[in-house]
Amino acid sequence: MATLSSATWQILDQRTSSKPLPRGLDAAWDAGVGLAGRFVPRQQMYLRRTEKILALEKHFSEMTDVKLREAVSELREVFRCRRDDSSDLERAFALVREVAFRQIHEKPFPVQVAGALALERGCIAEMATGEGKTLAATLPVTVAGWRGQGCHIITVNDYLARRDAEWMGKIYRFCGLTVAYIEQQTPPKERKRAYMADVTYCTNKEVAADFLRDRLALGQLRGLGSALLAKIAGDGRSVVDRIVQRGLNFAIVDEADSILVDEAVTPLIISGPGPNPEQTEAFHQAAQMADELSAKTDYRVNSRHREVELTDQGQVRLAELAEALGGLWSGSHRREELVTMALTAKELYLQDKQYVVDDGKVVIVDDFTGRLMPDRNWRDGLHQAVEAKERLEVTPPKDTYARISFQRFFRMYRKLAGMTGTAREATAEFWQIYHLPVVVIPTNRPCVRKNLPDVVFSTETAKWKEIVSQIHRIHAAGRPTLVGTRSVQASEHLSELLKAENLEHQVLNAVRHREEAQIVAAAGQPGKITVATNMAGRGTDIKLGRGVAKSGGLHVIATERNESARIDRQLFGRCARQGDPGSAQAIVCLEDEFVSRYAKGLVGYLKKRHSDGEKDITSLLTSSAFSLAQLRAERLALRRRKAVMKADHWLDENLSFAGRE
């Protein structure tokens, strides 16, 4: 017989698909419910309940370890048998606080307890950088482990999954729970054992990939219930043994905005070899033809929507170029598709921005974190088109066996919660897509960061000149500086400018990612200058060196605004953590790619009005151009995510061969 309970099998059977987004009046009603929910005083509710939990502190602190273990056993039995009520949850949280203090010498602050209550209730808890989200999660995770159906803590990389499992493991084991973690190299047998643990730390990529592999293992069986019946009948043993997950019961997502919003529509694909020499050669031919076509006359580029369209003249010109090739170039639709992809790679995917070339291979750079993603490829031939543009060996396209977006995958969990330092800007989306309300948790100590107003210039030259000048001033005052850039190219350009000024600095970007730990560890030291892509905003902790607090703390400079205000706030959140002093400012210009793409008309008018590129042109109007661009970018991104979800459901309903149980 299978080692899983029948209740657990039912979880995967029932959650193999999620409901589509509501439409029409249903959508309006749902949005209204979400809007009304924002007026529910959840923060105050959780803070008041926290007081009840703190009142139990003395009761548990006076217990010996033996008595505390007995209390653990009693509470575990209560939650395992589903007999718990609100007072039991309060006792459980108070107990775990005491266990944390004895095991890792850290006791969750009241605000961390409030954040834990928000997670337990299935909310997105916004907790500022440095406020201890990892420790706060142990309270609801322990309770979930006691309930017996497992809990997944989703992190952004393998290092954090392993670190947090080992760091918090002492708490869980004292509470009678098993804890495990999954890395990319974890073999299938170890994965199965890890998922059978009460608490499992893993990345979004690994947990979604394991789900897809399990679905492939099921084959024509309609679900796990069918697989179990087949095993009982004697002809399903191999299928059941290959399945590693035991259900999608409860997940707490760390850096929830990054995973559930920024990477929401990133498709996770399981594919296999599908070599096609003629198609591989066609990508090189398409790249050569793309170089023969002229912008504006043969094709038009829509930077805002990141699209390329052939003109009528371009279609005629392409037919002339392809006439001698024959084969697949004979069909107008196929040749136009190939060359449009080559033009997209040429015009919209630039080296050191969207990708880098490492050891003769195209490696994608994550737009939001600046990190390399060596295990990911662009789909639909785009990756091959970029390789052909760079005159590299073209990777043969692969056949897709299974795919799912992270957005759709996480909607399958029976219970979902998340934590991040930046969530309020995406409140509406968290509700519309996942039905998760956002709760802003106050900081343990008042935040004293000085958010200085943006400085706007007309040209890039003037912008970089001001950035270098400001770095000079901050450095001379003995304060550390962190400069955030949106691309590898920009970080390297600034590095050259600083070298010319004889300013010693460190560069942290996708190309130099191997040195990240050492660079970040020193970024808060007196007078230190660190130039970083957005990767510095996730999973890093910059601690101030001796005397830095007295001189004003870390100063953060943003060299461009990002497409989401959340990313800006995440970068600024690197300074002034846990009550430390610090300051942050954006220094931008009208030639920045982001604002030129999303506020093209207003930027054009402002450039004509401010022809002298050396002057500071900061005003309400120039600043509003960046706010407008951000608003448009966020709306467009939301529409794209909703479109992907609708497409997922259409494919599921119209092209699925497996019925639902």
CATH number at residue 551: 3.40.50.300
Band (pLDDT 50/70/90 cuts) for residue 6 is very low
Q: What element of type H or E holds 302?
A: strand 299-302
Same domain, 130 and 47: yes
The average pLDDT across 408-416 equals 94
Residue 655 or 248, more confident = 248
Is residue 12 in a domain? no
Number of structural domains (the chain) is: 3
Would you state the pLDDT for residue 373? 80
Mean pLDDT of the chain: 87
One-character DSSP codes across 65-103: HHHHHHHHHHHHHHHHTT---HHHHHHHHHHHHHHHHHH
Band (pLDDT 50/70/90 cuts) for residue 206 is very high
Same domain, 466 and 344: no
Would you state the pLDDT for residue 540? 59
Would you state the pLDDT for residue 655? 54
Is residue 631 in a domain? yes
Residue 12, pLDDT above cutoff 70: no
Residue 218, pLDDT above cutoff 80: no
Same domain, 298 and 236: no
| CA-wise closest residue to 372 among 568, 534, 483 | 534
Same domain, 235 and 287: no
Is residue 14 in a domain? no
Same domain, 244 and 300: no
Residue 220, pLDDT above cutoff 60: no
Same domain, 436 and 482: no
Residue 31, pLDDT above cutoff 80: yes
Percent of the chain with pLDDT over 70: 89
pLDDT tens, residue by residue, 591-645 = 998 899 899 899 999 988 887 767 899 999 999 999 999 999 988 888 888 888 7
Same domain, 628 and 600: yes
Residue 85, pLDDT above cutoff 50: yes
The average pLDDT across 351-359 equals 88
Would you state the pLDDT for residue 8? 36
Same domain, 507 and 389: no
Residue-number span of the structural domain to which 349 is assigned: 275-396
**Cα separation of 210 and 367, whole Å?**
25
Q: Any idea what the Cα angle at residue 563 is, between residues 558 and 565, rounded to 5°?
A: 65
Q: What element of type H or E holds 228?
A: helix 224-233
Is residue 9 in a domain? no
Same domain, 112 and 255: yes
The average pLDDT across 172-197 equals 95
pTM of the entire structure?
0.83
Please tell me which of 50-59, 317-326, 396-405, 565-574 the model is most confident about, judged by mean pLDDT: 50-59
Percent of the chain with pLDDT over 90: 58
**Cα separation of 196 and 149, whole Å?**
9
Q: Residue 290: give its domain's CATH number.
A: 3.90.1440.10
Is residue 649 in a domain? no
Least confident of 155-159, 343-347, 397-401, 544-548: 397-401
pLDDT tens, residue by residue, 512-527 = 555 666 777 788 999 9
Is residue 10 in a domain? no
Same domain, 513 and 378: no
Is residue 332 in a domain? yes
Residue 611 or 315, more confident = 315
One-character DSSP codes across 400-464: EEEEEEHHHHHTTSSEEEEEES--GGGHHHHHHHH---EEEPPPSS----EEPPPEEESSHHHHH
Same domain, 316 and 173: no
Is residue 654 in a domain? no
Same domain, 349 and 462: no
By residue count, the chain amounts to 661
